[in-house]
């Protein structure tokens, strides 16, 4: 083999390697986004089940990061500490997940945490803000901040819902 042939084979192997690395990276990003969407959809379902039983969504005083130690369970009392074992009959979401952190740009922040699912509610409506690495044309979601409400998904940041102050 001549030097030119060896260089050509090396170049072809390098190009195929680069294309493969890009494809794997892109597939990982899409997988993380699908995981995030699955988490948010699970939260929407749990919140609707809560609403069906209580005629209101769980109210929080300020926008709250979900999937943390203090918001790891959605039960009869709203978001709270992890569900007790054997207490799964009253759990609407037994394990509130935290988003996969890798790949995010820290746009969704609340409760002093970045890259969080941020929940707000006034009782009559809810909003869960989350971030995606890539847009989703099928759901009309954009790269960056998106919102899940009782009406579905929408692109862009969520409105902050706060409970009415009673006097």
Whether the CB-CB separation of 156 and 142 falls below 8 Å is answered with: yes
Residue 163 located in a structural domain:
no
Which residue range is the domain that position 23 belongs to? 3-155
pTM, 2 dp: 0.83
State the pLDDT at residue 27. Answer: 81
Residue 59 located in a structural domain:
yes
d(C-alpha 167, C-alpha 164), whole Å:
10
Whether the CB-CB separation of 98 and 117 falls below 8 Å is answered with: yes
State the pLDDT at residue 86. Answer: 64
Query: Could you say which residues of the chain have pLDDT below 70?
Result: 86-89, 164-167
Residue 162 located in a structural domain:
no
State the pLDDT at residue 85. Answer: 73
**Among candidates 88, 151, 159, 152, which has minimal Cα distance to 118?**
159
State the pLDDT at residue 89. Answer: 65
Report the domain count for the chain.
Answer: 1
The number of beta carbons lying within 10 Å of the beta carbon of residue 165 is 5
Which residues fall within 8 angstroms of residue 82, CB to CB, at 6 or more apart? 69, 72, 73, 95
State the pLDDT at residue 164. Answer: 65
Residue 145 located in a structural domain:
yes
């Amino acid at each position: 083999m001549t030097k030119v042939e060896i260089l050509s084979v090396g170049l072809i192997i390098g190009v195929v390697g680069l294309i493969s690395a890009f494809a794997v990276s892109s597939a990982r990003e899409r997988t993380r986004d699908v995981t995030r969407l699955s988490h948010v959809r699970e939260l929407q379902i749990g919140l609707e089940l809560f609403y069906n039983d209580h005629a209101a969504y769980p109210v929080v005083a300020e926008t709250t990061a979900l999937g943390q130690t203090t918001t790891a369970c959605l039960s009869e009392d709203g978001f709270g500490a992890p569900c007790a074992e054997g207490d799964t009959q009253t759990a609407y979401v037994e394990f509130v997940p935290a988003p996969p952190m890798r790949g995010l740009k820290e746009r969704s922040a609340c409760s002093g945490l970045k890259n969080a699912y941020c929940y707000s509610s006034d009782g009559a409506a809810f909003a869960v803000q989350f971030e995606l690495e890539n847009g989703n044309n099928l759901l009309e979601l954009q790269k960056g901040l998106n919102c899940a409400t009782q009406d579905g998904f929408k692109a862009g940041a969520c409105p902050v819902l706060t409970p009415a102050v009673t006097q």
